[in-house]
Amino acid sequence: MCKYQACLLVGALLFLVSFSYGQDGMHKPSKKTQKSFDAAVEAYMANDTGLALELVSEAIERDPLYFDAWMLHAQLTERMGDFGTSAQSMSNAMELKPAAREKWGVKWCGLLHRSGQYIKALEIWESLSDDVIDASRTDHQLLEASLLFSVQTIAEPEDVVASPLKGDVNTNSAEYYPAIFVSSDRMIFTRQVGADGRFQGQEDFYEAREVNGLWQDMGPIRGVNTRGNEGAPAVRGDGRRLVFTACETLKDGYGPRQGKGSCDLFETRWNPSTQRYEEEVNLSVLNTRYWESQPSLSADGSQIFFVRAQRNEDGVMEQDIWFSTRLNSGEWGKPQRLTDTINTPGREENPVLHPDGNTLYFASDGHPGLGGLDLFVARKSETGKWMAPVNLGYPINTNGEENSLQVFPNGRRALFASDRNQPGNLDLWEFELPEKMQAEEVFQWSGHAFNVVSGLPVQAEVVVLNSAGVPLFQMVSDPKDGKFSLPIVKDEVLTLQVSHPNYAFYNRSWVPRESEVDRSNVVVEIPMTPLEVGTVLLLRDVHFETNSAMLDEVFQPELKQLLTTLLGANIRIQIVGHTDDKGTEGFNMELSKNRATSVSTYLHSNGIEWDRMEILGKGSLEPLVPNDSEANRALNRRTEIIVID
């Protein structure tokens, strides 16, 4: 597996000196100084950055007025990631030769920006002539926008206080890339094993649980870890699907695994019987001969987002966010690159789809920011398209590299990895997101689908729809125990549908309130009745106009589910209408029959033959409960579907 830093910096290439060194025509260094400088250039070209820096520093010490030496020093320290020193070295060079601003002014501003000297960088930028700044170049446009944004956000910082994760998860080894369950009290994270925390040693997955506000290290997870490296875990909301990255090494390749590129994505299932993850499978549809990593699964496991780094036709390295949707077969569909609203010519990394399904957090250095990788949030519009991302601002973002963000299901609490307490040793930190950066709050809703006769688990399709009938989340209950867990959005009209071709369907429409949403892992029982002669399907949610047999034009989830059942099963049914006791018996009898007829007409108009249906109206003759309250009368107003053949 790629080490953390390597994963964050894939696509960065060594580049040759982009300017010509030599005497500047006005200042002539001594022979010893020139000799040190020439040796530094040779070391640089041989890719020995450390020796080159040592030699050019000797040249500067002998002659602080040597312009070319300061420029090389800036180039070398930039390569080493020391942007503050690099910016200062170039500032020294520009003071020695002000005319060089015409050639190096933009580069100078970029280094100042990268080192966090935003005001100075903007002042210099605004002093550069139009001959220096090319408004048609996207990199010049990005730098100008970044400078303006940086100055503004530093002046108006977000009210954010970050602190180390409470508990015993953080150690003297590096911890990073957390993946949070929808229950909010469990996560899987990556840890460097047998290392000093400075990106050496082996990477393995560990699990942690939150108990009374403290995160407890539960040890390495079972079934995935090897002597090689595993990293960048992503879990389905219930943790029963795990996607991760493994990379080949020069010594062992992929080890026991089979890979296609330098880094590949693998998927494994949790086995509730053995309490361990099963053997992983290479996601060959998603992987290429290049580099795929940093996956993120939707809470229901139906979508995956990941990063792919590859060279385009011009040989330029591209690092973008891609996504794929799981097919009905359970396989992943052909991956697609996210729109240019998200992806840029720069680097995009670490996509994280929040459990609400509409909020995407990611890192990028191709959108206006404070330097290096910044964290962004993008949201889906009502049409399902991703809108322009928003920078999370300062102090969440800085002139350093920000990455590895995870946001809890409540949409407010967030985790990230940082070495700010101990340079070189990443730990997990947490903070509260500013309100405008938060995702929608969701909760876990767990169920257990089982055969009501035998008690055996049922592998049923589970779908949550909104009030317009649009699927929000969907998954298949586990065939080994019939369990499932889905995210639920409170205070929104939702419909839960559980179905299987051989069983009567389950349907429930309700508005979850915070007090009603499961937070204690209590599993709601979903009894599934085998679809056979005599089976009765009780429809409580068919909507008619008041005192009428006309179907309402609103979304009718139960009718849609009944239609799907009939299209997939070769059965005949009797449709029986029932009313409450309001009105005369004759009126109720006719109303109940007409309502049953309306249901049959709907089914016929959608492909069900007339000879597969019988119609019957029973008025108020067979109440389920006494008609002594409005709540009971509502229960008695129903449509029953009886399997007769």
pLDDT in tens, 459-485: 999 998 888 888 888 999 999 999 998
CA distance 28 to 23: 6
Q: What is the pLDDT of residues 106-126, one digit of tens each?
A: 999 999 999 999 999 999 999
Q: What is the pLDDT of residues 51-76, one digit of tens each?
A: 999 999 999 999 999 999 999 999 99
The pLDDT of 588-615, averaged and rounded, is 95
Higher pLDDT, 28 or 423: 28
Which amino acid would we find at residue 548? S
pLDDT confidence of residue 425 = 84
Of the candidates 6, 631, 10, 91, the residue with the CA atom closest to the CA atom of residue 307: 10
CA distance 175 to 230: 13
The pLDDT of 387-415, averaged and rounded, is 93
C-alpha 216 chain-centroid distance: 24
Mean pLDDT score of the chain = 89
User: Which H/E stretch holds residue 52?
Assistant: helix 49-62
Q: What is the pLDDT of residues 216-250, one digit of tens each?
A: 999 999 989 988 788 899 999 999 999 999 988 77
- DSSP state letter for 104: H
Q: Is the pLDDT of residue 16 over 70?
A: no
CA distance 147 to 535: 69
For residue 126, what are its two tokens?
């605004």
Letter string b/e over residues 379-413, b meaning 16 or more CB atoms within 10 A of that residue's CB: beeeeeeeeebebbbbbbbbbbbbbbbbbbbebbb
CA distance 471 to 114: 44
Q: How many CB atoms lie within 10 A of CB 195?
A: 17
Report the sign of the C-alpha dihedral through residues 593, 595, 596, 597, in that order: positive
Unique residue bearing structure tokens 């969440």: 396
Q: Which domains occur in the chain, in start order?
A: 4-155 (1.25.40.10), 163-437 (2.120.10.30), 442-530 (2.60.40.10), 533-645 (3.30.1330.60)
pLDDT confidence of residue 255 = 77
Q: How many CB atoms lie within 10 A of CB 24?
A: 18
The pLDDT of 557-565, averaged and rounded, is 91
- In the three-class reduction of DSSP (H, G, I as helix; E, B as strand; rest coil), residue 325 is classed as strand
- In the three-class reduction of DSSP (H, G, I as helix; E, B as strand; rest coil), residue 362 is classed as strand
Judged on CB neighbours under 10 Å (0-12, 13-18, 19+), 343 is buried
Kindly report each contact of residues 473-477 with a partner whose C-beta sits within 8 Å and lies 24 or more positions away, as own/partner.
473/298, 473/299, 473/300, 473/302, 473/357, 474/300, 474/302, 475/236, 475/300, 475/301, 475/302, 476/330, 477/447, 477/448, 477/449
pLDDT confidence of residue 198 = 44
Residue 601's pLDDT band (cuts 50, 70, 90)? very high
Give the chain's end-to-end CA distance (angstroms, integer).
58
User: Which H/E stretch holds residue 42?
Assistant: helix 31-45
For residue 233, what are its two tokens?
């875990």
pLDDT confidence of residue 465 = 87
User: Which H/E stretch holds residue 641?
Assistant: strand 638-643
* Backbone φ and ψ of 144, nearest 5°: -60, -45
pLDDT confidence of residue 19 = 42
Q: Which residues pair with 617 in a beta bridge?
A: 577
CA distance 332 to 351: 18
Q: What is the pTM of this model?
A: 0.86
Can you spell out the DSSP letters for 117-175?
Answer: -HHHHHHHHHHS-TTT--TT-HHHHHHHHHHHHHHHHHHS------EEPSBS---SS-E
C-alpha 309 chain-centroid distance: 18
CA distance 461 to 478: 10
For residue 582, what are its two tokens?
């309001």
Q: What is the pLDDT of residues 142-159, one digit of tens each?
A: 999 999 999 999 999 999
Residue 492's pLDDT band (cuts 50, 70, 90)? confident
pLDDT confidence of residue 17 = 40
Q: Is the pLDDT of residue 422 over 80?
A: no
Q: What is the pLDDT of residues 307-353, one digit of tens each?
A: 999 988 777 889 999 999 999 888 999 999 999 999 999 999 999 99
CB 377 within 8 A of CB 390: yes
Of the candidates 416, 412, 415, 403, the residue with the CA atom closest to the CA atom of residue 436: 412
Q: Which residues pair with 463 in a beta bridge?
A: 474, 497
CB 147 within 8 A of CB 121: yes
CB 409 within 8 A of CB 441: yes
